[in-house]
Structure 1
Amino acid sequence: MPTYNIHEFSTGINVETLPDSSWRSRGYKVGEYMNSTLPQIPYVVQLAIANKMFEVSKDSHSQKPTFVGREVRGKNADPAWSVVAVVTPGRDDYGLFNSFYRYILCQGVDRLWVILDAIDNYSQKYGRLPIFNPSEIKEIGKPNYHNISNKPLVTLPSELNSLTSNYQRALILQPGQVSDLQTINAVAEKIANGQLVSWAYDVEAVERARRFLVIQAADEKAYQDLIRIGNASIDNLSSVDEPSIELAIKGLIGGSQIKQEWIQALLQNEQVTSDHCQTIFDDQGAHTRIKQRNYSPQMVRLLTLRAIIIPDTLPEYLEWFGIDGKNKGKGDNKQKVSLEFQGQLKKHILQLEPLIDGSMKSVLEQILKKKISIPAFSWLLTAQKSLWSSYRASLLQNVRDDLEAIDNYLNSSDDSPSEPSFACGDSIWKNLQSGLPGPNYRYSYYQPFADLFERLGDYQLASYFYQVSKGVVPKNLFLKAFKNKDKSDLWGLTLNREVTWDEHLINLLRRYSLSLAAIFILVLTNLFSYMLGLQSKGKIGLKNSNGETLEQAREAGEQEGYDKGYQVGYQEGLNAARQVEIIPPMTKASSEFSTTATVMEALVKRLTNQLTEKFNQADPQIMRNQVIKEIKAIIGNPNLDYSSAIQGNENHKKQLIEAIYWYQANTGEKGYGYIDDNFETDERIEKEVNNTLLFNFANRTKPALEKLIEELLQDNSLRQKNIDRIQIINAIKNTFVGITDYTATIEEGKPKEVEKFVNSIQQYQNGGDGIINYGKQTYQRLKEEIKTQYEERFNFANKTKPALEKLIEELLEDENLRQEKFDRSQIINAIKNTFVGITDYAGAIEKGNPQEVEKFVNSIREYQNGGDGIIHYSEETYQRLKQDIQRQLLE
C-alpha cells in the first residue's frame, strides 16, 4: 500500500487568544506562513496563491468552510503539486472578519483525491474538519503519512454526466447538488480531460469564476450571483481563443523576433474585454511581479504590452517605470528595454492602430482626472522609439477636429442640431458641449490640457484651454501662438492675452504722470541724506573745539552722515521693495494656483507612492498624511490646512502661496509663490522629504534589513540550524529594545512604529543617526550579533539543555539524594542557585525565551570563569556542576 506525504501550512497571523479560548488576528505576517510541515513553501504554490488562484470570499456568519482544490503546474526544476485550501472566516483586532486559509498539499498532479481521503480520515478521527486553527501546532519535517491503496471509484449521476458533456467554463452547481468533495473532484477531472483540475466547494462569492472548472454554491443567493458572473464570463469568452492570446503574450515578451500571428491573436475579437485581458496578464505574473519590483526584460515587455492593450493600466506603467518627464536623459535600463520593444512593435503599427486609437480616448480622460501626469504622458508622446509617439500628430488633429465640431454644434442655425461625433470620445467634451465659458466662469477641469498641449508645442490648442480654464492666456504663450495680437478668436472662443503687472504699472505711470513723483521722491531722499551728514559733521566738530579739528574729523562726519542717510534710505527702500516684490507675484501666484495645486498634488502622490511601494501593506491615506505633514514642515508652515488650501479656501490658499514664496526665497530661488514645470521647487522639496525619518527608513534601513535577512538565511551555519525568517526577525526585535510590532514598522510603515524603531537603532548605535546602511558598520555588527545569538541558542538547545536534563536524571537516580527524597523541582532550584542571575528556568529551558537563554549562557560563562557558556554532557563543567549540586542538597 503506497504512503503519501500530506503536507500543510496556514495563513501567517499574529494570534491573540481570548478569555473564552477563542482567537483573533492581530495582523498578518506578510509573506509568512504558520503551522507548516515544509521548510519552504514550494515556489509554484506561492505563485498560485499570489495570483489569487485560491481566493474566495467568506461571509462572517458562514457556518461551514469553503474548499478549493487545484492542481498547480510545475516549472523548470520545481515539481507540480496538488493543493486543497480550507477557507474559514475569522475576526481581526478591529472586530472585522477576514478569510483565513489552511493549505493541505501533496506533491504531484492527480493527488487531490489523496488529500480528500486524508481530510476524511482527519474528520473521522477528531470529529471536526481541518479548518484554520492557530493553536494546532505543526512541525517542519513532520507531514501526515497517509496510506491508501486505490483511488476510489466515483460514479457520477446521469444529471452531472450531462452537465459535464455540455460544459462551459465555469460549471456552476446548485447548493447541495454534489454531496461530497470526492464527487466534485471527479466532476472536475472529467471536464479537465487530462488538463489541470480546479474546483471550489460551498462557495459564497468568488471574483473570477472562470478560473475554476466547477463551482458549487453555498446557498441560493450565492448560486444566482455565480450564475450571473459565469454567464457574463461565457458571453465574453464564447468566441475567444484564450490559449492563442496567452501564447501571443508569451511570445511577444520573450524577446525574440515578433511574429505576425501574435499580433493577430491579440486583435482576434472585439469581445475580448479589458477584464479578461487583465486576468490573462495577471496569470502571466503582472500583478505579482509589479509589487516585487521585478525589473527583468521579460517583465518590462509584459507591462509595456499590458499598457498598450489595457489603457487603464497606463498610470501604473508610467509610475513603475519611474517616468516623470524629468529623467529622460538618465538612461534608465527599464525605459531602454521598453522603448526597444515599442520600436519593434512600430513595424506592425497599422495592425495596432485600433488599440492605440482606443487607448488615446481613455488616456485623455485619465489626464483630465489627474491619474496620469502631464510630464509623463508628454514624454510618452515625444520619446523617439515610443509606440505612442506615432499618434502624436493624429491626437492633436483629433482634438482640433472635435473643438471645431463643438463650435459648429453651438453655432448651428438648426433648432435641434444633431449631436456631433467626436474622434476623442464624448465624455471629455460634455462641459464644452453645454456652452463655452463666459467672462465670469471658467472650466478649470480643462487646465491639464493647457499644460499638455503647451508641452507638445501646439500653442494654439494650449492657448484655447488656458482661456477655457483660466480666462486668460499667458503672454509668452499667446505671442507664440498669435504673434503680436492682444486678442484672437479660435473655434468660437475669444482668447485674451494676459497683461503683465509691469505693463499695468507703465500704463498707470503714463496715465497719471507718476514718473515726476518718483523723481521728486528720489531728490528728497538724497537731500535727507545730505542734511543728516551736515548734522553729524557739526557734532564731531564741537568735540574738537580746542583747535584740533582735523580734515580727518570732517571726513568722518561726512561719512557718518552718509551712512545714516544710506541706512535710513536703505531700510525704507527695502521695505518698499519687499512690498513691490511680493504683491505682483502674489497676484500671479493666485492666478497660477491651479498649476501649483496640480504640481503639489503630483508631488504628494509621487512621494506617497514611494512609501506604499516600499511598505506593501501600508495604508495609503496614512502615508499621504505623513507626506503632507513633512512637506508642511519643510515649507515652514506645519499648521497649514493643506487639503483646504488645495480645494481653494482663500485664507488657506494664501497661506500656502506665502509659504511657497518664502521657501523659494530661502532656498536660493527667486520668490514667486507658485510652482510650475519651469521651477525646481517641487524637486527641492522632494529631495528634503526624502531625507526625513520615514523616508530614510524606507529607502535605506528597510532594504538593508531585508538584505540582512536574506544573507542570514543563506548563511551556512544558520541553514544547518534550520533558522527561518521568523526567527531572524525575532532576533532583530530582541536586539533593538522597544520594538513591539515588526510588521507594523516594516510592512505597514506606521509612522509612530517607525519612529520607535529608529530611536531603538539610535540607542543601539549609542547616539547615531538611526539609519542602517547596507554593508556598513551597524549592518555588520547587527549581522554578527544575530549569528552569535543563534549560535548561542543552538548550542544551548542542542548541548546545554540535553546535558542539564541528563544531569537532573542522574541526580534523581543518585542513591544519597534518593534517601533524602529530593525531587526534580529541588534539583532545578539548586541549579538556579548555582548559576547566579537565572530567574526563569522554564523560560529558558522549556520555552527557549531568547532573553532568558542569554541570561543562562552568561551565568554559565561566569561559572566557567570566562568559558564558552556551554555545558557538554559528562565533561568538566558538567561534572563540577553535578558535584556542587550534590554538596548543596546534602549539606
Structure 2
Amino acid sequence: MTMIYIHEFSIGIEVKPTSDGGWESGGFTGKYMNCTREIPPEILNAISSGEFSLSEGGLQDHPAIVGRQVGGYSVVAVVSRGRDDRGRGVSLYRYFWCEGKDYIEAILRTMISSSNKVDPPVFDPYYQPPSTGYRLNQDSQPVSLDKFAEYLDSSPPIVIPHKQRCTHLILNEIAKEIAKRQGQDYSWAYKVAALENPWYFQVIYPACSEAEDNFKEVLARRPRDSVFISGEAGIKTAIKAIIKGRVKPEHINSLEIALAHPQIDAQFWNKLLDGPGASKAYKDKIYSETMVRLLTLKALLIPKFLPDFLIWIQTAPKPDDCWESCRKLQASIVTEYEKNIHGLQCLTRNVKDGIYSLLSRLITKPKSSKSDSTIKHKLRGLVHSKFDIPQLVKATKLLLTQKDGFWSQVYRVSFTKDLADALPKIPDLSEPGIITNYPEEQQKFLTNLQPFWRYPGKTDKNYLSLAQFFEEVEEPHFAAIFYQISTGEVPANIFDSLSRKGNVKKGTLFEMTLIRKKGLLDHIHSALDAGIYFVTENLILIIRRMVIGLLLGTIGLITILLISSLLISLYEKDLQASMDEKIAALEEELTSAQASTTDTKNQETWTEISPENQERFNRTHEAIKAMITNLTDYINQLPPNTLNSIGIPENVQDNNKYIVLFCVRDILGIDQDLQYGEIGKYNERWQEFSDAIKKYQKSQGADTPDGVIDKDGGSTRGWLEEDIRNQCLNPDGG
C-alpha cells in the first residue's frame, strides 16, 4: 500500500509573547507558517475564495471544523479563537491536507489520535510539525447514520438541528453520501455560528440554536437554482487581472483548474464574463483594449464562440489594433504554456476544440427557416458566402499563423497531429454518427465527415473553402482530403507532392482513396507523346532505307529518296490526323467539364432525398456492399492489364469499392461522372440511378422491375455480379 502523508500549515501571524507566558497576535503577515510542504494552488484558491471562512461572530468558545474535497485533495481546517495585542478576538486557522480526495475521515482520525483529544489539534504558533508530515492511517471504521437517514434524500445545503447530537465524523459521512448520489465533491462545517458562504457546503452543524435559525434564514433567501463552484472567487480575481493586462501564472492556473471542474460549462462562463460586459461589448461593438482582451478570454474559455469572435474583430473600425491586443494577451499565456507544454491540458483542449469550431464554420451552410422565401434564403446564402466565409478564412489563417499566439502554438504543436490521428479512425467507427472521447466541437466536425468515408465518391462543394484554407497554410495532406471531399479529385500539384513524399500509398491517404485531377498539360503531353512516337518510328524506317541506298549506289539512292519523300508526305497527313484526334478529344473533355460546371450550378435546384427514396437507396447500398464482398477475391486475382484495359486508374486499382461501382455504372449505362454520394443525397440523382436499374431489370426479363437492387430476395444483384465478372472485368471474353 502506498504511504500517504498528512501535511499542514497555519495562518501567519506576528507572534507577541505575553507576561503570563502566553502569546497574542500582532497582526497577520499575509503568509502561511508551519508549512510541512508547498501548498497546492487548488487549496490556496479555495481558501482565497472563502470556502473555509467563518464570518465575524462565527466562532464560539470551542473550535470549529471545516472539511472539504478540493480538486484532488482532502482538506480539514480547524478554526480556534485567539486575541490580538489590542484585546480583540481573532479567528486562527490551522489546515491539514493530503493527496487524494477520499481521506477526510482518515485525517480526522489520525490527527485526533495524535492529539489524544476528541478534536484535531488547534492553532499553535510555537509548534514545529515534522518536516515530512504525519503518516496517514488509512484504516476506515463504519460510521452509523441510522439516526440521520432522513437527511440523505434532502437537497443541500442541509442544516442539522443543534439539539440533535452529532460528531464531525457523522457530519463527514452524511456529506459524503449526499455528494456520492449527486456526483459532486463534498464539504461540511461543524460547530460553526456563522459562515461567509453557507451555500458552499452540503451539510452544516450549527454551534447553537440561534446559529441554526440564522443559517436557515440565510439559505432560504438563496436562489435554489444557483450552483456553488469551488474557487469561484479566485476565478473572478483571475478574470479581472487578465482583462486589465496583468497576467500572472496563478491567474492562468486558476482558469486551468476551473476548466477541469465538472460543473463549469459555457453557461457558467457566459454568466461570469457578462459581469465585466462581454455580451454588451460584442453586441454593441465596443472595441476598447480591455473589451478585446475580455472577448479573447471568452473565445479561449468557450470554444464555439471563437468564430464569432474573429468575425467581431474583422468588422472593427481598426482590426489591426484589435489583433495586436489579442496577440499580446495570447503571448502572455504562451509564456506559461512553453514552460510546461503539457501543463495546461484543459486550456489546450479548449483551444483545439475552438479550432474545430472554426473549421466547421468554414463549411457550414447558412441556416434557413421554414418561413423563408426563396429570395430570403438566397440572401442568407449571399451574406454567408460573400462576407462570413472570406472574412473567416482570412481571420483563421491569421490566428493560426501568428508567431507568438496561443492558438497558433497549439495548432502547430498538437492540433495537426490530433487531426491526422483522428481521420484514419473514421472508417472504423462502429456506429454512424457516434464518436466518443472527443470534445463537443471536434465530435461534431468528425461526425459530419463520416459519410465521405462510408460512401466513396460522395462529394460536398461546401468543403472547398476548407481545402483552399489548408492549401494556403501549407498543410497539403489535409488539403488533399478536402479537395477530394469537395470536388471528387485532388489538384495534380498537391497529389504529386504527397506521392513523392510517400504520404499517398496506392492512391490512399487517411484511409480515403484520392483521385488525381488531370489538367490541360496532362492532355497536351499525351498528344505530344503520340506525335513523337509516330515521328520516331518513321525516322528509323527512313534512316534504315538511306543506309540501304548508299549500299546499292546512286540509282538505288534516288529510288529510296523518292520513296522517303512519299513516306514523309504520308507521315504529315497521319501526324495531322493524330493531332486532330487528340485535340478533338481534349475539346470534348473541356466541353464535358463545362457541362459538369453547369450541372453543379443546377445542383442548387436539386431537392433533398425523400424518406421513401432514402429507404430505397439504403436497400440498394446494402446490396452493393454485399456485391463488393462477393467480388473481392475475384478482383484481387485479376492481372493489372485487365483493369487498365477497362479504364480503372492505376492509383485506385487496389480499391475494390471503386472498381465495383465503376462496373455497376458501366453495365447500367450511367455516366462515370455520376457521383455515388449524390445518389443517396438528392431525389434527382437517385431517380437517374433508379431509372437505369429499372431499364436493366427489364432487359433481363424481370417480372416486376422496381428500380432497386435488393441484398436478399431479388435477382438484380445476381445478374449484376454475373455481368461484372463476365463482361466488365472480362472485356476480351476469355
Q: TM-score, normalised by structure 1?
A: 0.30
Higher RCO (CA 8 Å, separation ≥ 6 residues): 2
